[in-house]
Chain A
Amino acid sequence: MNSSAIEPLVLIIGYGNTLRSDDGVGCVVADRLATRYAEDARVVVEIRHQLLPEMAEAVARARWVMLIDAAADAPAGSVDCRRVEPETAGVGSGGLGHLTSPAGLAGAAGALYGSAGDMWITTIGGACWDHGESLSAAVSAAADRAGTLIAAWVDDWLRRASHA
């Protein structure tokens, strides 16, 4: 994880369980991006088991946020990127508890700290959720594509920021 006194422009959070095969693909992609942007203080990469409420402050500080997660309800090896709309109300415990959802995290960042950044999520359809520390072939290939795609987005964001 990069750290710097400079406010990050881009926050990347890859999350999942690296002990359950494809569920860890978000962490794998984030780890590669951490290497790519290791020398760039404008980009902070975090690798986590799950999204947590206390991430809200970091989300609010960033201008762009990219979440990376595995998806159980998408075709294996598919890569999807979409904007996260902040959750502003909900019933029950799903918003902020021991873990939170992307929309809940964005909602909390906005409600508590005044900004949810511009939050996006990249999901990668998984094939294997068994115990194991390696990715299935389809998801491994998808991880390469997702990493390339996200890096292009991040580079574009950084370019836009430098021209602003």
Chain B
Amino acid sequence: MAREIEINPITRIEGHAKITLTLDDAGAVSDAMFHVTQFRGFEKFCEGRPMTEMPSLMARTCGICPVSHLMAASKACDQLLAVNIPPTADKLRRIMNLAQIVQSHALSFFHLSSPDLLMGMDADPAKRNIFGVLGEFPQLARDGIRIRAIGQTIIEILGGKRIHPAWTVPGGVNAPLSKEKHEKISAMVPEALEIAKRTLVWFKRNLHRFNAEAASFGNFPTHFLGLVTPTGGLEHYDGLLRIVDARGQVVEDMIPNEKYLDYISEAVEPYSFMKFPYLKSLGYPDGIYRVGPLARLNIIDHVGTPLADQEWAEFREMHRGPVLSSFHYHYARLIEILYGMERIEELLADKDIMSVRVRARARPNRDEGVGVTEAPRGTIMHHYKIDANGLVTWSNLIIATGHNNLAMNRGVLQVARHFVVADKLQEGMLNRCEALIRCYDPCLSCATHAIGKMPLKIQLTRPGGEVVDELVRD
């Protein structure tokens, strides 16, 4: 008789979700679903708002990655104004965007995922948490807190505050970089680089301990999507879209941002409030693809900074063609932290970085604008249409975590089949299902609100609802 295991809620992610595992008559996992259980409807409520409000309005859709929404919204509004923003504004926006990526990756790796990596997937849950890490690996924990603080502080220095900074505006930014702020940011870069380097050394030394997870955590062929520079380098703020297949072949390249709907469509499923984007050319659900740090490192021809280029070359040697295991999102994040700090250092050294020309002013000059940028978790797309008065009449948002929705569902199924033994509900195997989701660092806050201390409840039930086994984590 078919049965179900429910993991609800999933912990150490951003937002509210649950996993349902369906077992067949023989007790084997036959299906798995990742449900996003809250609805918010941002696309609808921004209708009727002035386009000039969109950056600050969209930043408030998420307290976790507000900078990413700010950047995408500002870029969409730049298009509505039909302006090229001043070069210095472009560079300053890049610094803030990279700082966001650094701090977010640090939190994902050190705070949310390190308990699994450091304490082991089967460790006692009473120890497999951040306090276990604090107790046994205090230097790593200090590094995590410090590098996140550096990223947050850079955002605060530039934007005036860490969350929802209003500094990025349509046409550029609203204040240039002062000498004092330049010095403050520059002073933090060497420390951040050292932390990034030693964490990579530690991670690579310990990677072999997770061969089983690397082999089964979302390790399947998919396409990959992300932005690249015109020369195929790593890009987080601007650039053109590239799609690479599971063998590493570039199948679509140099796609202008505003053409994204020619390549991507969105499906809905009754069991989740999160949309299921897919590649039009492959149809639904075969058009599965992944975005985010793993995808970005899989689609590029080079990184673009010296240390990160070396690390990237080593990373890509793990696999012939793209690195397919979602477990390696963690590895990719560390390389991107290194890249982020190297690139911030380069941008700060630019001769025009303190120019006072930082904003292009114009009235709306287009009816439609698209802004695409790379959030920590992947590609983020904002698309607005406005009327003659500059009021938004329609919007479409495709968020990074949404792109990965199909892949997360398929990954959960793979992990469950590999690790879940139906008759034995054990903490370690169920945690692996959660840990798979955490590889993607999903930010459901763009569709829900922030994390609390989540209990975990897993129920094994018969179709009639009879509970035959249960695990509760208070």
Contacts and interface: CB of A to CB of B under 8 A. Distances in A.
A98 B14 contact: yes
Given A93-B451, A97-B451, A49 B163 contact: yes
B134 A111 contact: yes
A92 B125 CA distance: 8
Contacts of A89: 126-127, 129, 131-132
A92 B134 contact: no
A56 B130 CA distance: 14
A112 B107 CA distance: 16
A interface, over-half SS = loop
Interface string A41-68: 0000000010011101100000000000
A69 to B, nearest CB: 15
Interface string A74-97: 000000000000011111111111
B400 to A, nearest CB: 16
A89 B127 CA distance: 7
A112 B451 contact: no
Interface stretch (B90-98, B140-148, B274-282, B339-347): B140-148
Contact of A54 (B149, B452, B453): B149
A54 B453 CA distance: 18
A25 interface: no
B270 interface: no
Given A49-B63, A88-B131, A91-B129, A98 B451 contact: yes
A108 interface: yes
A93 B135 CA distance: 16
B111 A91 contact: no
B313 interface: no
B319 interface: no
B141 A92 contact: no
Contacts of B421: none
A138 interface: no
A111 B451 contact: no
B112 interface: yes
A111 B126 contact: no
A107 B455 CA distance: 20
A96 B142 CA distance: 12
A99 interface: yes
Contact of B138 (A52, A107, A111): A111
B148 A92 contact: no
B456 A92 contact: yes
Nearest to B452: A94
Interface residues of A, number: 25
B129 A112 contact: no
A109 B309 CA distance: 36
A96 B130 contact: yes
User: What class of interface size applies to chain B in its complex with A?
Assistant: 35 or more
Interface in B75-89: none
A91 B125 contact: yes
Contacts of A91: 125-126, 129, 473-474
A47 to B, nearest CB: 10
Interface in A89-135: 89-99, 101, 107-108, 111-113
B192 to A, nearest CB: 13
Given A98-B14, A98-B450, A112-B138, A92 B455 contact: yes
B454 interface: yes
B152 interface: yes
B64 interface: yes
B18 to A, nearest CB: 15
Contact of B145 (A56, A90, A93, A94): A56
B257 interface: no
B14 A94 contact: no
A95 B12 CA distance: 10
B10 to A, nearest CB: 10
A151 to B, nearest CB: 26
B11 interface: yes
Given A54-B145, A98-B64, A112-B142, A93 B11 contact: yes
Given A54-B149, A98-B107, A111 B450 contact: no
Nearest to A56: B145
A89 B130 CA distance: 8
Contacts of B152: 52, 54
Nearest to B144: A53
Residue of A90, A97, A101 most packed against chain B (CB within 10 A): A97
Nearest to A96: B130
Contact of B134 (A57, A93, A112): A112
Residue of B127, B152, B453 most packed against chain A (CB within 10 A): B453
A157 B130 CA distance: 32
A97 B125 contact: no
Contact of A93 (B146, B454, B474): B454
Contact of B453 (A52, A92, A107, A108): A92
Contact of B131 (A49, A87, A98): A87
Nearest to A54: B149
A113 B134 CA distance: 10
A71 to B, nearest CB: 16
Given A49-B63, A98-B64, A54 B454 contact: no
Given A91-B474, A98-B14, 18 more contacts: A53-B148, A54-B152, A57-B149, A87-B131, A90-B129, A92-B455, A93-B454, A95-B453, A96-B130, A97-B112, A107-B131, A108-B130, A108-B134, A111-B134, A111-B138, A112-B134, A112-B142, A113-B142
20 contacts: A49-B163, A52-B152, A53-B107, A54-B145, A54-B152, A57-B149, A89-B127, A92-B473, A93-B112, A93-B130, A93-B453, A93-B454, A95-B453, A97-B451, A98-B14, A98-B64, A99-B450, A107-B131, A111-B131, A111-B135
| The 3 A-B residue pairs with the shortest CB-CB distance in the complex, in nearest-first order | A94-B453, A54-B149, A111-B134
Interface of A: 49, 52-54, 56-57, 87-99, 101, 107-108, 111-113
